[in-house]
Structure 1
Amino acid sequence: MKKQLVVMMFTILLIITGCSNYKVKQETDIEVQDFTHKDQRGEEVSLEDLKGSPWLATFLFTNCTTVCPPMTANLTEVQEALKEAGVEDYKIVAFSIDPDNDSPEVIQAYLDKYPIVDESKWHYLTGYDQTYIEQYAKKSFNAHVKDDVNSDQVIHTTYFHLVTPDGKAIKSYDGIDVPVEVIVEDLKTLGKN
């Protein structure tokens, strides 16, 4: 009886204090390379600007006819789940992989098609050349991006990458079959929520 009482008191204490033993399962440890680019609002965003908060990074382009529309829709679902969970300390950063066509205005028109809960959390970046983004994706996220010379499409991976508040890519999630609950817990754990 005494042992049951101790266990019950310990459980109540954990509930009251909100303790969690959840830990992010780190898969990689890649230093995200420095950058400064324009987002959909025409504002300059740098790696330094993002430091202090965790963020999801991905690679998209507005003219994509296959995976980018569902990936973008999935990001809006992730953001809705973050809102429902009360998570506020995060950013969503998409790097355009078709920067010659993706101006800030074109990107904004693309994002306007989606039910984004809080666009202030989003930075869809552009303002560099194709060679740069192909190399940047590989160096910073071990992600494959390659211009398809036989079409107007760009070949790329479909992952969302978790970046720590100090700028390290530590985990990737499927951007099509998205583990929304895991992403919410990871961002909640890394952020100041």
Structure 2
Amino acid sequence: MSARTAIGIALAGCLVTALLWQRTAGFSAFTYETWRQVEVAREAVPVSDWRLQDAQGDFVRLSDWSDQTLLVGFIFTRCPTVCVALGSRYQQLQRTLQVGTSTDVHLLSVSIDPDWDTPPRLDAYQRRYDGLQASWTVARPADAQVLDDIIRETGLRVIPDGLGGFAHSESLHWIRDGRLLRISDWRDPELETMITNGG
């Protein structure tokens, strides 16, 4: 092997290593979801004041909960898999809020299928999990632009599955004062403790 070839291989190796370092957040994230979690943990991400329509048909904004941390999950009511699990998880987390003394966290489920998920369908989803409006809001983006903003600002992956549903992120998003502060796995056993401590 010539010296020129060896130098070329070494440079290519350095370039690949640098790209991997950048794409994996310093070799700490090897999936897109993990990468999002690491990036948000490094630096909070600003989000706009999303205009949403809740299960009662009222319009709300993130700033309506300016004195609370929002724990935001994304769902669609026709989903037979992860959205069922997320609903059950929010039911458990709501119980944590009920027995605790902290009112610093509010649960928010946002539909990624606003054309289908009308307020009555959102209400049926919430009632299925004994959702109480005082601690858990189920809503949809007020219009297509808001949905686009949500996807862009959070880095949420929403992929139509060709069967009327979507493949999408299962992660939970901690938002306060117009900033995305943390992204958690919905199965994280520390969620109850985090909620008790105000996020």
TM-score higher than 0.5: yes
Alignment check: 8 A CA contact 1:54 1:187 kept? no
Q: Is structure 2 residue 185 aligned with structure 1 residue 174?
A: yes
Alignment check: 8 A CA contact 1:54 1:190 kept? yes
Counterpart secondary structure, 1:125 = strand
Q: What is the aligned-residue identity percentage?
A: 24
Match of 1:29 in 2: 44
Alignment check: 8 A CA contact 1:98 1:130 kept? no
Distance 2:143 2:59 in 1: 16
Distance 1:154 1:70 in 2: 15
Distance 1:162 1:190 in 2: 10
Alignment check: 8 A CA contact 2:51 2:142 kept? no
- Offset of residue 190 of structure 1: 3.8
Distance 1:130 1:156 in 2: 17
Q: Is structure 2 residue 192 aligned with structure 1 residue 184?
A: yes
Change (3 A) 1:168 1:107: same
Q: Is structure 2 residue 158 aligned with structure 1 residue 145?
A: yes
Change (3 A) 1:54 1:132: closer
Change (3 A) 1:132 1:48: closer
Alignment check: 8 A CA contact 2:91 2:129 kept? yes
Counterpart secondary structure, 1:119 = coil
Alignment check: 8 A CA contact 2:72 2:110 kept? yes
Alignment check: 8 A CA contact 2:111 2:140 kept? yes
Query: TM-score, normalized by length of structure 1?
Result: 0.73
Change (3 A) 1:44 1:130: closer
Change (3 A) 1:130 1:44: closer
Alignment check: 8 A CA contact 1:87 1:188 kept? yes
Larger gyration radius, structure 1 or structure 2 = 2
Q: Is structure 2 residue 170 aligned with structure 1 residue 162?
A: no
Q: CA RMSD in A?
A: 2.2
- Offset of residue 91 of structure 1: 1.2
Query: TM-score, normalized by length of structure 2?
Result: 0.71
Structure 2 runs not aligned, ≥5 long = 1-37
Superposed, 1:6-155 pairs within 5 Å as 27=41, 28-116=43-131, 118-129=132-143, 132-139=146-153, 141-148=154-161, 150-155=162-167
